[in-house]
Structure 1
């Protein structure tokens, strides 16, 4: 093979290589746009993590722009985003830094927002939301693993015997079981005996479990208790109402207790009754003399006897002599 053929083949392979590179570039950047044709907005973050210039900007999974700069502005990290002119971004849209897959590259993810909030103007700052960094998550998991390891070590130390020779938890439990084995066996035997009696229907508890009638009676008793409790609750409520009425001065008792005029009238009535009873007990009053004066009682009895004789004479006499008989009988 001469030198000319070799040079020709090298040239052909070079051209083919250039063509393959161009095809690959076009395949990877299908749908891309020139950043000069878009408008810029900013997205501030506490940390842009591994975000780089050229990373995509996606909205609902669709690529709508690219990161054109990453910088520090006013003490915070800030990403400058170039967005296609035909894609509006709503003001309530939130930007986050997402990752393509587990170990993929980072990109800016935007949610759709709501049209009612309006659209951002070129140069405006977007709302952002910080998401946990994968490296931070892995670091936290490592710290958690270390804490779990320490906790497991403490649990193991608590269960095992101590370095000073004192028994651990497992040894103490084992010793406790061995020392009380007879008591445990007796308790288990008693439990078996109790369960056998319950199964056989012996005893109150067994009847309650096995006898439907006993269960129904118990349920009825509980129902009656509940009804009695309900009635007691109602009675207490009525009593509270009555007490409230009395305190507020309503009703006869409330008026009697809290109404000053009624209380004064009651005092006057009691005083009058006291005066009347005092007069009745006095010898100077007619009623008192009627009770305490024996002569007056005898005179009254004599008068009643005379009236009785006059009436007898009146019955035996005619109409003409009736007046005379009454007069003689009385006087």
Structure 2
């Protein structure tokens, strides 16, 4: 078997490993609030999230096209560049998982790709449009994630909470939260799995020397399956941080946080914007917390989450650059 083909197989395998890690790293995005409010058992929540992550991953490719053609031009694609970006993103994902910090797998991958691209050809080869789109998602999704649940909670309070007895609120919103958790899992798969689809398509461009304007079906299916399997493994360190350490949640709070985050993520997926599901649901949980009172949010824990957000971009830029240089020295 020719070395280039072996390299492609290694890159695809590495990409699917990243997708698997993304699945268990970001499981908390979809299920932490449901577990925290005891609406679902951990086993039920993970099973539901795994299935709906796969369903979401099969429903579009707009984000994948952004990754595969709007960050680094496909004509600059090499297997070394893709491999360096993936190794960098995996290192950061595993480090933040070990620390229990809900960082963004999406931005880890994208800015690792940018870092490797800069190492390969300098800043001039980086496509501003794709990076700006990513930065816009990075900036606006947490803001919308924080503000939307405050508005939605006010609406829910006006429609239901002001006249419904507490026991009835808990009973009814336990059912509704199952639906909101399902929506969150679906939207997570629809946005996050597409990043891996995009990076594999980018690798195919490197191997075949042709530009792809579509994502092959086998890539869609394999990425969806890898994320679903990763989700089934769970990510308990991050689930504990997201579900139990930021704010004390009730079913109505979980419903509002998940619905708000899912709407934002689903809208971004339609527009082809690779947002961080982690950033969005984290800020939604904080937004819900502030409706209970500013002191109800454990801002020290929230501060650690924000630190992980901030450090992801420069760290992954540097890691991507360093991994590409290392690959060059070894090859």
Task: Please indicate, yes or no, whether the TM-score normalized by the shorter chain is above 0.5.
Answer: no
Which category of TM-score, normalised to the shorter sequence, fits these structures?
under 0.3
Q: TM-score, normalised by structure 2?
A: 0.16
Greater relative contact order (CA < 8 Å, ≥ 6 in sequence): 2
**Structure with higher helix content:** 2
- Structure whose alpha-carbon radius of gyration is higher: 1
**Structure with higher strand content:** 1
